[in-house]
Structures are given as C-alpha cells and as structure tokens.
Structure 1
Amino acid sequence: MTDLLIVGGDVVTMDPARRVLTGATVAVSGDRIAALGTAEDLRARFPGAREIDASGCVVIPGLVDAHQHTTVDPLVRSMIPDHIGSQESIFDWIVPLHAHADGDDDELAATITAVDCLSRGITTVLEPGTVAYPERVAAGLGAAGVRARVGGWGWDAEGVPFGAPADEVLARQEDIVRSLPVTGPVTGWVTLVGHDLASDELFAGAASLAERLDVGLTWHISPGPADIEAYARRCGRRPVVHFRELGVLGPRLLLGHAVWLDDAETDAILETGTAVAACPGAYLRLAQGYTRASRHAELVRRGGRVALGCDAHNAGDGPDVLLAAYLFAALERDRDLPDPVRAEQAFALATIDGARAIGLGDRIGSLEVGKAADIVVLDGDDPAWIPRGDLARQLVWGHVSRTVRDVLVDGRVVVRDRRPTGVDLAAVAAAAAERSAALLGRAGITPRPTWPTERAADR
C-alpha cells in the first residue's frame, strides 16, 4: 500500500531527460518512489494514502553532501578564529578538542550535524573520518534520520596524535564497518585521513579492505599545496600520481578535495574513475588557493565523477550544498575559462552526480520510480520564488536552501513544516551549550569573541 502522496508541486526529477513535472504528485510506498503523475490519477490508483500538500512548492531530490565532518566542530561552531593559519587551527584547537571529546560529545555533535543538514535539504552525508566513537556518531545521525556513511580516524604516521601501526588501523577500519548495518540509512565506509599521514602499506591495505568488504573508501588529499610538497620529499612525485602507481585509485575511492592537481593527476583521476568531493566554501574560508589551482570544472567537463561537500563547521560554518553549488559555479565562471559551469551542472553535482560519485546513483539523487524516497519540498510561499523563473538557475543562483519545508529520507518524514520530527531541538540546544562549555574547559581553550560580549544583567 502506498503510504504517502506529495501533491501538486513542481517536481524536479533529475532523471536522464532532466524533466520538470509541473503540478505533479509523487507517490511513496514504503521507502521507495512508487509513481509520479497527477493527483487525480494517483489518488485513484492509491486510495487512502496520507497526503502532503505541495501546491505551489518545488519538489527536488534530497541533496548529497559528500564530505561533511560531524564531530567536535559542531560543538564549537564559528569559534575558531578566521585570521589564524591552518596549523594553528589544527594543533591549537582541533587536536586538543578531539583529545578531550567523549562519546556523548560525538553523538550530540553528529545529531546537530544531521539536523543542520536536513534543515537545508541534505539527505545524504559522507563523514570523511574525524570520528573517535563511530558507533555513537552513527546513533546520532540515525536519530535525526539522515542517510550517512561513517568512517573513523585512520593514519599510521609516527609522532602524530591518534596514530597507530598500519595493521591496527586496518583492523579498526574493519571493526567500524562490521559494527554498523550492512544495509540501511547509516552504514560504514573505510576511511583514512590521508594527506601525508598514511604509509603506502596503509593506503594499499585500505583499498584492499574496501574491496573485500564491498564498501566505499575515502581520504583527504591536496586541498592546498602542502601535500604536493610532502610527496615531492617522500617519493619524488605528486600525490595522485603516486596513488596511481600504488594501484589504489578506482571507482570505490572518493578523494576529499584534490584541488591542487596537475595534468597527469587529472588524467589519472579520469582514467581510473576515481571520484572527487569539492568543498568550495571551505577553500575560500581557509584561503587554500582554489581559483589558482582547481581542476574540478575540467573534471566535470570531461565526464569525471565529482560531488560537492561542505567540510567542517569551522571551515564552512554550516552544511549547505546549494551554497556549495552556487560557489562552485560562480568561482569557475570568474576564472574566464571556456565552457563555464552552468547552473544545471552545479545542481546535478548536488544531486544525481553527487550520488553517483559516492556509489549510490542507482538508489538516490533523482526522483524516479523505484528509487529511494529521499525528497525535499521547498516552500513556494518564500519570496525567493517570486516570480518563478527557470528552475535550474533559480535553485543555484537564487540560493533557496532557506526555503526547505519538508524532508523525507527513505520515505520517512524527518522534517515537517521546517521542524525535525525525530529530535527535540530545545533539548539538543541545551545539551550543546552545556557540552560545548565543558569540552572547551577540558581542552583548556578560551574562545576569543570578535566583539566584546557581556550579559545585560551585569551592566
């Protein structure tokens, strides 16, 4: 029996023909899309179904965030200064905070991230590996109802906090994947931090492990020039070329960032079907030279597998994939290259192309019969939709993520009338304030607000 009809919206299908069905109804049965058509036909075909009135609204596929850290940063959102270097940010803030975070912190931070994502229409999140308590993170993500792939810390560099020998790292990676469901909204991935923190043995072992467990694999590389310099010292060649020589590139692998590429690295990514997660907001916030070095648009033009991500809360201040799509298209257009990125291409990166990049293109990313019912209803009453223009352009250039009204994941309503259905926001906010202060205290960090802040009662 069909559980739900989403009635009367303008449905952006992102199917192969990129059809937009105006005044359409989407029928949801269980966790799948059962039919698309007119309200009259589907009411007759599926009598007794519950309904969500989407008249005048825009209905889109759930958005995909292919690189979103979920731990620690959400508890210190916008607290790390934006005028310090990356090393100070990492070693004076992030490392001490992670060293003092506990499982309760990780689960709460993951819940905050999930609610944050869902409120912006993001239904699928790939966590790229700053997780000390992966099972608790999975629980936090699952409570809010987001679809997610979760990994953990993973590196074997000597003298670096949280490191371990390669065999121990791989054993933990396998334990994480096996501790989570094989199927369902929240499952496991093999996850290394990457950069220059993993040995060749660990990279090769992780690729083999992902193949054996039949899961995806991700790590960070080259958001800035530091990794290029490190690999020049390490092996006399650039990182992605080195990965090709190791035999670890391929369709299971999603490289986080891969901004600083040369021709050979770009070719290697394309030839092996390796995917890339681009996080334009983070590169701007962290001043990593995106417009000087990025080859992401070239990967898109040449048929590469590219997704969008929002990185961490202190790199982007909040997960917003439509903002990432806007920045991706805008920055590439400003480089004055031939065949600039168009709105419809950027929106595809946020939906169907992003789904394909993380190996879920047959399940999510478009509104087609048989696919998972990951559906977002954008409120047509928002002034951002007056007048209704070309939807591809309006979705990207109009930056309409603030209009998210209702969200479904696997057919389950997880946001209704802009409020999460599975999480008590007031309780989450109270817990976040308490745990944030306690975590900062344990880490010995005192935030330095930009503006003098005092309680009115103390005046």
Structure 2
Amino acid sequence: MELVPDLLITGGDVVTMNARREVLLGGTVAITGETITAVGATGELRARWPGVPELDATDCVVTPGLVNAHQHLTGDPLARACIPDNIRSDEAIFGWSVPLHQAHRAQDEELSALLACVESLRNGVTTVVEAGTVAHPHRVAAAMLRAGVRGTVGTWGWDAEGVPHGAPAGQVLDRLRAVVDSYPAGGLVRGMVTLVGHGLASDELLTGAADLARETGAGLTMHMSPGPADAEHYLAITGRRPLLHLADLGVLGPHLLLAHAVWLDDAEMDVLIGSGTAVAYCPWAYLRLAQGVTRAGRHGEMVARGGRVALGCDAGNAGDAADILRAAALAAGLAKDIALDPGAIGAPEALEMATIRGAEAVGMADRIGSLESGKLADLVVHDATGPQWIPRGDVAQQLVWSADGRSVRDVFVGGRQVVRGGRCVTVDERALRDEVRHASADLLSRAGIAVRHHWPHVWSH
C-alpha cells in the first residue's frame, strides 16, 4: 500500500540539483515523514494524493537545504562584531578567540551554538559541520537538536609539545571516539572525528584520528593552511609542506574534510586532488583576516580539476554571517578574478558547492543535497517576490548573484518545519536575544576583554 504524504509543497520553481540539474517550473515536492516521497508536476501529484495538506510556494523558488561545511558554533557568536577587523589573524586568535574559549562555560557553549544554529536555519542552511573548537560537545549537540539543524559535532584536542592545555594523543583519541560513539550515523546530529589541526597535532595523533575516521565511517575534519604559517611550520619541523607530510602519513583520503587549504603549492594540489580529500572553502574569512586568498587561493582550480570542494562560513568574527549564498557568490567572483577568466566558476558551480557538491564533500550526498525521491526532506523555500528577483531570469544566477539568506521564507529539516515566514519556530527568538545579551556581557568580562568601538557611542535620552 502506497504511503500518503504528510505535506505537498506546491507551485514553486523546484531546483532539484538532481543529476540532470532539472528545474521544475511550478512544481511540487511531496514529503512523508522525514523523507521526500516525490518531486513532480503539481497537477499530477495533487491527483495522486488528493486532500493532502499543502504549503503554497507560488512565486517562490524551492531548493535543497544549503550545506555549511565549516562553521564555529562556539566562541565568536557571543562576541559578534567585537573582534576588531583591523588586526592580524594571530592577534584575533590569541588576543580574542583563545581568551573567549577559555572563559566559556558549558552553558555558554550551548547558548552560543543555539544562536549560530538559528542564524544558519534562517539563512537556509540545514546542515552544519562544526569546526572543532568545542569543549562541551554534548551541550553543543543539545543546541543543534533543539534548533533542528542537521550536522556534525566533535571536540577539540591537541598533543603538541609546549602548547598549553594539551593532552597525550591517546587521551585525545579517547575523547574523539566517545563523541563518535555518542552520536552515531543516522541521527540528526552525528559525531565526527574533529581536530583543530594546524601544527597542534603529532604524527601519532594525526594517524590515530585518520584511522578512527576510517574505522567508524565518521570522517575527519581539521584546519590547514589558511595562511602561510602552516607551511612554514611543517617545513621547519618535517622538511615537507603540510599536505605532503599528511600524504606520507596516510592521513589524506576521502574520509578527510580539510578546512581552508589556501596556501598550497603544485605538489600539494596534486596529492589533494589525487587522494580524494575534500576541502571546506571559507572565502569571507580569508578576506576579513587578510590571509591572502587572492594571492594564493586555488579553489577554482580544485573545482575545475574535479576536486571535492564545499563552502563554509567559518567563525562569527571572520566569516561574519552564516550565509552560504553569500559565500557562494564570493567563491565564484574570486575564482573569476584570480584566474582573470570570466569562464571560471560561475553561478551553477557555486550553487552546486552549496548543495549537492557540498553534501558529497561532507559525506552525506546519499541523504541530502538534492530534491529527489528517497532523500531526506531538507529544503528551503525562497520568497521570489522581492525586487532582486524581478524580472525572473536564470535561477542559479539569481540565487547566487542577486539573492542571499534574506530571501528565505520557510525551511524544513527532515520533514520538520524549522523556519516559517522567515522566523525560526523551534526557538523563542526574543527570549534567545535577551539571554545572549546578558551572557555576552558576562563572557567578555570573565575573559578580561574590553570591546573597542571605532566611533564614540553617546547615550541619547
């Protein structure tokens, strides 16, 4: 007996991102439970399932949920727009981010993650890979589950000599395994083997983490080479550049999602592409932190060579907005300009990185990333009545070049509506706003950080 859908999302232009990249004009998506039952013509599906409740998406564009492959959910969200934008990345990290994380309590991590998840959902992001600066993974997972976002969570650790708060490799690996075991594959939130990376991991920890990722199928993510410092470190310690060293250790491979990978030479590009290692590209962060993406970035080349590239938004005071459509536009624009080639990455490729290619890079393309029967019902309804949508042209160009998260009207994750009319319905946003204001002031005080404003602030009554 055929299952009757719970909901028909009707009348929108459905950007399927299927193998043929079909766009169904005035189409319908049928949802049963957490799964897409069918995608097709509105009249046909209405006739097939008469009387099923409908969500009217007329004058809207319906896309798969967007994938954010690298997002820090803790630390920066409670200090939004506080870290100056005129300091070097090392000062931003050690003068601001590290003190913030050291002052974070468990409840701060949960609140910070909840705020970031609500922002993500409102911008149409339905899957988030947490970037690995989490001390209390269960509290972060609780926030993700409360908001209703899909994603991964890990916990940070390092064993580099002479670095404060380090631990032996075995202890770090035990913590990583515990998170993976607590959040198995198949749930809304799953555990991922997550290292901070850079030069903070010994060869023992790197190989152990890769082995754990392969053994459990959970995957591994870590940071590497957003600027030149990692190359300088590995050349001094090992005599080889970072990705060549990781390749020799057997760490590279389809199980690895490497954040950044901006400063790579030709040999590193070859081993990256050849190994099937995925990259989370966070273009706004490199511009904000002046890390040299316009000088060294080769992500357009990665895509052209068949590399696995997803998009990320990084930290709240680097990427600044958890908005993958903004990142998609910048990724396309940078690729064209760096190559001096308007035929480099365009809107179609950028939208692929935000959806199906992003899902493939994070190891979830069998479940998300396109609107097809049998996949999870993670989807976004974009209101296409605003001036940025008029007149209607190529849908990929309008999504990437004209629109951003502000066009998002409704969002579903696993068939559950989490955003309605542009507002998150799983969280009391007003109460969240009040709680964050108090927690932010308290956190900055405990971290010993005084916020500096560029312009004088004068109370006016």
- Band of TM-score, shorter chain: over 0.9
| Match in the other structure for 2:42 | 39
- Report the residue type matching 1:34 in the other structure: T
Indicate which of 337, 351, 358 corresponds to 1:354.
Answer: 358
Q: Distance in 2 between matches of 1:101 and 1:22?
A: 48
Which residue number in structure 1 is paired with residue 382 of structure 2? 378
Give aligned-pair identity as a percent: 59
Matches of 1:454 and 1:48, distance apart in 2:
59
Contact map agreement 1:374 1:409 (CA 8 A) in 2:
yes
1:96 aligned to 2:99?
A: yes
SS in 1 for 2:71: coil
1:155 maps to 2:163: no
User: How do 1:80-95 residues align onto structure 2 when only pairs under 5 Å count?
Assistant: 80-95=83-98
Could you tell me which runs of 5 or more consecutive residues in structure 1 were left unpaired when the two chains were aligned: none
2:428 is aligned, of 424, 427, 430, to 424
Show the counterpart of 1:242.
Answer: 245
Instruction: Specify the alignment match of 2:219 in structure 1.
Output: 216
- Of 102, 124, 128, which aligns to 1:125? 128
Q: Contact 1:274/1:305 (CA < 8 Å) preserved in 2?
A: yes
Contact 1:394 1:400 in 2 (8 A): no
> Per the alignment, in what secondary structure is the counterpart of residue 191 of structure 1?
strand
Counterpart in the other structure of 2:318:
315
Moved more, 198-207 or 170-179: 170-179
Give the corresponding residue for 1:435. Answer: 439
Contact 1:326 1:399 (C-alpha < 8 Å) held by counterparts: no
Distance 2:389 2:218 in 1: 40
For 1:390 and 1:399, the matched residues in 2 are separated by: 12
**Shift in Å, 1:319:** 0.7
Q: Which amino acid aligns with 2:204?
A: E
| Aligned partner of residue 406 in structure 1, secondary structure | strand
Deviation at 1:251, TM superposition (A): 0.4
Partners of 1:90 and 1:335 lie apart in 2 by 27
Which sits farther off after the overlay, 395-404 or 178-187?
Answer: 178-187
Match of 2:189 in 1: 186
**TM-superposed deviation, 1:337:** 4.3
Residue 342 (structure 1) shift? 1.3
Looking at structure 2, the residues matched to 21 and 455 of structure 1 have their Cα atoms a distance apart, in angstroms, of 53
Question: Which residue is equivalent to 2:80?
Answer: 77
SS for the counterpart of 2:70 is: coil
Contact 2:323 2:404 in 1 (8 A): no
Secondary structure in structure 1 of the residue aligned to 2:348: helix
Q: 1:455 aligns with which of 448, 453, 459?
A: 459
- What is the aligned partner in structure 2 of residue 343 from structure 1? 347
- 82-91 vs 382-391, greater mean Cα deviation: 82-91
- CA shift, 1:158, in A, is 2.4
Q: Equivalent of 1:23, from 22, 26, 32?
A: 26
Deviation at 1:267, TM superposition (A): 0.8
- TM-score w.r.t. the length of structure 1 is 0.98
Cα separation, 2, equivalents of 1:199 and 1:242: 11
What SS does the corresponding residue of 1:168 show, helix, strand or coil? helix
**RMSD between superposed Cα atoms in Å:** 1.1
Any conservation in 2 of the 1:377–1:407 contact (CA below 8 Å)?
yes
Say which of 259, 263, 272 aligns to 1:260. 263
Contact 1:66-1:307 within 8 A present in 2 as well: yes
Within the alignment, does 1:228 sit opposite 2:204 as a pair?
no
Instruction: Point out 4+ residue stretches in structure 1 off by more than 3 angstroms.
Output: 336-339
Q: Name the aligned partner's letter for residue 409 of structure 1.
A: V
CA contact (8 A) 1:384 1:400 kept: no
Q: Which residue pairs with 1:135 in the alignment?
A: 138
- Identify the residue that residue 411 of structure 2 maps to in structure 1: 407
* TM-score of the superposed pair, with normalisation by structure 2: 0.97
The amino acid across from 2:103 in the alignment is H
Q: 1:329-367 CA distances to partner (integer Å, 9 max, x unpaired)? A: 101111234541111001100000000000011111111
1:19-47 per-position Cα deviation (integer Å, ceiling 9, x unaligned):
11001111011111111122222122223
**Cα distance in 2 for residues equivalent to 1:59 and 1:280:** 25
Name whichever of 278-287 and 444-453 sits farther off.
Answer: 444-453
Moved more, 160-169 or 361-370: 160-169
Q: Which residue of 2 aligns with 1:275?
A: 278
Cα distance in 2 between the residues matched to 1:454 and 1:439: 24
- Conserved in 2, the CA contact under 8 Å of 1:152 and 1:191? yes
Number of aligned pairs?
A: 457
Mean CA deviation greater in 89-98 or 196-205: 89-98
Contact 2:389 2:403 in 1 (8 A): no
Name the aligned partner's letter for residue 29 of structure 2. Answer: V
